[in-house]
Amino acid sequence: MDAALLLNVEGIKKTILHGGTGELPNFITGARVTFHFRTLKCDEERTVIDDSKQVGHPMHIIIGNMFKLEVWEILLTSMRVSEVAEFWCDTIHTGVYPILSRSLRQMAEGKDPTEWHVHTCGLANMFAYHTLGYEDLDELQKEPQPLIFVIELLQVEAPSQYQRETWNLSKDEKMQAVPILHGEGNRLFKLGRYEEASTKYQEAIVCLRNLQTKEKPWEVQWLKLEKMINTLILNYCQCLLKKGEYYEVLEHTSDILRHHPGIAKAYYVRARAHAEVWNEAEAKADLEKVLELEPSMRKVVRRELRLLENRLEEKREEERLRCRNMLG
């Protein structure tokens, strides 16, 4: 066995278990990579979390799409066809794995991998993860840890070698992509990487908008997708608030509320934007609406009202000083 740290990649160690054949494949953007994987914990028992061979079919990713665990692209592009390698990956690379695993398990069971996503927009804790429905994944989600991936590279196909255009993901792939992108956006937001987080949310919104065009407006599936889209737009707006793009936040939230006037989180986010641009009456009106729709948010609303009053008082004091200086 040949153990080596992958060059220029922090937190990854590779051990080749079985050498591959031929030269390193040409992993160009749009290439489709097919592989089997087994995910293990780094405990003494090397507990198996997932195994694609047990599921009965291999995984596919498209190079450049980043719709699954991003570190997999790094791992796969170091391999030759038929190679089997073991990769130790530190926590910086594995934080989103529980969400990916949940989606893969749901799809293997014939369930909708985005069902959880609809219920993760609670106002009290906007970026909290609810249970993933699997005890081992909830544990990983709560306490991220290094993982081991044993990967067997089966095939690498250039974009011209398979039928589907690379940007035209299947419905299943889009449905699988959304919770991954959502989770990655939340992770980046927590790290303060707001530009990158907003990009993840936008990618997820594009997937859902595309799926929504295939449904009849205002029917059950269309409304389900609409709810998911609104959740992602409001998360995107949180990034915009952090970047000072207040008027864009007002535009997005007002658009949501025109069509869905019962979404408390939209009033809350819009209130914060109004407060930043000194729209005192509008901010207070939106916060009152939050209380009406979500009485449990009383403490948060009071905090926002106090912040607003403090900022307004500081502004009034600045204006008084300015007036005195002009008169003086």
User: What percent of the chain shows pLDDT beyond 70?
Assistant: 88
130: left (phi over 0), alpha (psi -120 to 50) or beta: beta
Q: Are 241 and 275 in contact (CB under 8 A)?
A: no
Looking at per-residue pLDDT, the higher value among 326 and 118 belongs to 326
Chain segment 33-47, per-residue pLDDT in tens: 999 999 999 999 999
Please say whether the dihedral angle defined by the alpha carbons of residues 69, 74, 80 and 85, taken in this order, is positive or negative: negative
Per cent of the chain over pLDDT 90 is 55
Dist. CA 39–CA 42, nearest whole Å: 10
Residue 118 pLDDT exceeds 60: no
Quick one: pLDDT at residue 213?
A: 83
| pLDDT for the residue 21 | 93
| pLDDT at residue 113, rounded to an integer | 54
In the numeric block, which tokens belong to residue 187? Answer: 């992770």
Give the three-class secondary structure for 3: strand
Cα 125 to chain centroid distance, Å, stands at 16
| 50, pLDDT greater than 50 | yes
pLDDT at residue 111, as a whole number: 67
Spatial distance between the Cα atoms of 185 and 284, rounded to a whole number of angstroms: 29
Mean pLDDT value of segment 178-187: 89
| Cα dihedral: 198, 201, 207, 210 (round 10) | -70
With 60 as the cut, is the pLDDT of residue 130 above it?
A: no
Q: Which of 104, 132, 138 is nearest to 119 (CA)?
A: 132
- 122: tokens are 């609670």
Least confident of 26-35, 173-182, 212-221, 258-267: 173-182
pLDDT at position 68 is 60
Q: Does residue 263 sit in helix, strand or coil?
A: coil
Q: What pLDDT, on a 0 to 100 scale, did the predictor assign at position 90?
A: 94
With beta carbons less than 8 A apart as the criterion, state whether 228 and 201 touch. no
Q: Which of 21-35, 152-166, 293-307 has the lowest mean pLDDT?
A: 152-166
Token pair, residue 99, equals: 């969400």
Q: What is the mean pLDDT of the chain?
A: 85
Per-residue pLDDT of 272-318, as tens digits, reads 999 999 999 999 999 999 999 999 999 999 999 999 988 888 888 88
Cα distances (angstroms) measured from residue 285 to each of 101, 227, 267, 272: 42, 24, 9, 11
Q: What are phi and psi of 8, to 5 degrees?
A: 65, 15
Prediction pTM value: 0.59
Q: Are 303 and 311 in contact (CB under 8 A)?
A: no
- pLDDT of amino acid 237: 96
Cα gap 125→294, rounded to integer Å? 13
How confident is residue 1, by pLDDT bands cut at 50, 70 and 90?
Answer: very low
Instruction: Assign 178 a pLDDT band (cuts: 50, 70, 90).
Output: confident
Could you report the per-residue pLDDT of 205-260, keeping only the tens digit for each? Answer: 988 988 888 889 889 999 999 999 999 999 999 999 999 999 999 999 999 999 99
Task: For residues 153-174, give the mean pLDDT.
Answer: 72
Q: Give residues with Cβ within 8 angstroms of 116, minimum separation 6.
A: 102, 130, 132, 133, 179
